[in-house]
Chain A
Amino acid sequence: MDREVERDLIERAIAGDRGAAGDLIRGHQRSVYAYILRMSGRPDVAEDVVQEAFVRVLKNLHRFDFRFRFSTWLFTIARRLYMNILAKSKPAYDTDFVGSMGGKGERPEVGLFTEERQSVQQDAIQRALMSLNTEQREIIVLFHQQDWPIALIAAHLDMPEGTVKSHLHRGRKRLRVLFKDNSQLSAQLAGVMQ
């Protein structure tokens, strides 16, 4: 979102314009939801975190400092909320793929195989991400999914740029291996089921 447009939306939302607040939400919900979804691996957690993050941001919109990016502020609040949840209970990766394989010996309908194949890549990358440690996962997501520069990630996570790069390189190498393995496994499973 263009910064001028974003500033205009924020100022109107502060003045009580519901439409502007709605546009602001719709303009950022995809990126922040994807970020938390990739971090948590759980859509229900991502929904709760993102909704609460938007509520908090909009309630405190009058405190926003226009020198910074709105998305950075939103991501910081969302990340903090997610970390709070993570501290309370470590979430387990919940995959529909595993659940849909069925445990009663029933053969699923053929139409479902296509859908499963389409979600194989999603499941493989999510499983690979969840196998990384939190720092590596977050840096990978912020850099490759959200296109944040190294310097911004370093500021966001409050760590030196060199450390960010180190996590990024190690995480990326590991992600490649894990994703390849998971993809092959998923493809084999899909072949068996067909």
Chain B
Amino acid sequence: MNRDHDHDNAPGRIPESLIHAALDGELSDDVQHEIAQALQYDKSRHRELLDTADAIRALRSEVNIPDFSNTVLGELDRSHRFIPSSWQRLVRQSRMGIAAALLLSLLCVAGLQRVYPRLTTIGQQETPVRDVASAIQQDTQSVQSSIRDEVRIARSSLFPARVHAGVETPGRTGFSFSISSAHSPTQTPTLFSAGFDAVTLPSGSTVYFPSAEHGLIIRTGQVRNASWSGSWSPELLGSTSEYQGVRLLKDSNTNRKQEALELP
């Protein structure tokens, strides 16, 4: 190393630093020209410079390169496949706004969920729409029932004798009733001209007992205390005949025919 250094600094030799400075492009054209002239007298340094030039020339020689454009653009397409460039730019430029909007949306949903838990419930849960549908159905049934009742009342007021709903079928076993009254059963019932006797059957039907002798006077709702009472057997009921809803009944004790009007 020292020998090389001494050799480099030998008298008549061009300093290596000067060659480096020239190769670095730090010297003016005039100085470079002077060095080129001087190299004619320093064959060794000239040879070194030529070898250096060869190395640099080899370094700068062309290399075969592949075309990267297709592979790189393909890679980029894969990573941004479904997002148009305009959207990417929009997202890039307003990232903070989008993040804030998303956060706000989440907060709104959370608030709604707190106030109306069922509104934001997803799945086979009860929903307001389902409730409304159910309420409508119930209202419809209620109105239907109410109309049916009104019609029945209206029909019963127009044709009271035709109404037999709930009246026990004559001849049915296990059917009996009794009438409690202050009067004796054997007495002929005293029929008030403005009313008639009545008894409610286990089925919920009401049986009215007008007097056969005095004819039938029906005034709905004007029920007085019974002036006539008796026991009625299923057999007795089974033997009744029916016309226009008025049953011709027989008293089991007196064997007298009685008329009774059955109303629900």
Q: Which residues of A are interface residues toward B (Cβ below 8 A)?
A: 14-16, 18, 21-22, 25-26, 29-30, 33-34, 37-38, 47, 50-51, 54-55, 58-59, 62, 121-122, 124-125, 128-129, 140-141, 143-145, 150, 165, 168-169, 172-173, 175-177, 179-180, 183
Contact = CB atoms under 8 A, between A and B. Distances in A.
Interface in B58-76: 58-61, 63, 65-69, 71-73, 75-76
Contact of B79 (A15, A22, A59): A59
Contacts of B88: 16
12 contacts: A21-B76, A29-B68, A33-B63, A33-B68, A51-B68, A51-B71, A121-B58, A140-B59, A145-B59, A168-B20, A176-B48, A176-B52
A175 B79 CA distance: 43
B59 A16 contact: no
A124 B72 CA distance: 32
B72 A165 contact: no
Given A38-B59, A125-B58, A18 B89 contact: no
Contacts of B36: none
B interface, over-half SS? helix
Contact of B51 (A15, A29, A47, A176): A176
A15 B72 CA distance: 17
Contact of B55 (A14, A29, A34, A128): A128
B92 interface: yes
Contacts of A129: 59
Q: Considering the complex of A and B, which 5 residue pairs feature the smallest CB-CB distances, nearest first?
A: A16-B85, A125-B58, A179-B55, A22-B69, A54-B72
Contacts of B54: 179-180, 183
Given A124-B58, A125-B59, A165-B24, A26 B67 contact: yes
A16 B89 CA distance: 9
B24 A150 contact: yes
A51 B67 CA distance: 10
A180 B86 CA distance: 56
Given A16-B85, A62-B92, 20 more contacts: A15-B85, A15-B89, A16-B84, A16-B86, A34-B63, A47-B68, A50-B68, A51-B68, A51-B71, A51-B75, A54-B68, A125-B58, A140-B59, A141-B59, A144-B60, A145-B59, A172-B20, A175-B59, A176-B51, A179-B51
